[in-house]
Amino acid sequence: MECQEEKPIIYTMENKPIVTCAGDQGLFTSLYTSLAQQLPREPMEWRRTYGRAPKMIHLEANFVQFKEELLPKDGNKALLTFPFLHIYWTDCCDTEAYKSTVKEDMMRWQNSLRTHGSADWVIIVVETNDTKKKNKTNILPRSSIVDKIRSDFCNKQNDRCGCCRIL
């Protein structure tokens, strides 16, 4: 009986890096089509190793819902088989809702990432016309939610939390 040699996996350009999305799945779903179309149009800087000059690339990605089972174990971080970026989406504009539910959910998400050694994450706070109307009844302005998230989760890396406005 012959021992069959295991064939190597060949990745083609159809395979895309995996990006997980946590938080408000309804919000992400509403933005997905536009995001998937616009992302490849924006050049990104790829910092290469061994002192080679950075290169500008265009990136497409497979977006999947965050699940802890998707995270790599024991340092296995293959670009096309495990997520390389993790995004938390929220449109929370109410400080009480943030304190009571969203903050806890973000903490669980970040703890899962930290446990599995995943350091590449970002929090996106989306502001729409609807949230602007809701925000008028709040004492604190919307920007204070972003500032609160930055102070709670991004102390030394303020660029890990961003606010985008959808008109």
pLDDT attached to residue 20? 92
Tokens of 134: 């809701």
The 3-state DSSP class for residue 98 equals helix
Task: Pick out the chain residues at pLDDT < 50.
Answer: 1, 10-12
The pTM score is 0.75
- Cα 158 off chain centre by: 15
pLDDT attached to residue 11? 45
Closest CA to 27 of 127, 121, 118: 127
Q: Which residue has the tokens 């925000």?
A: 135
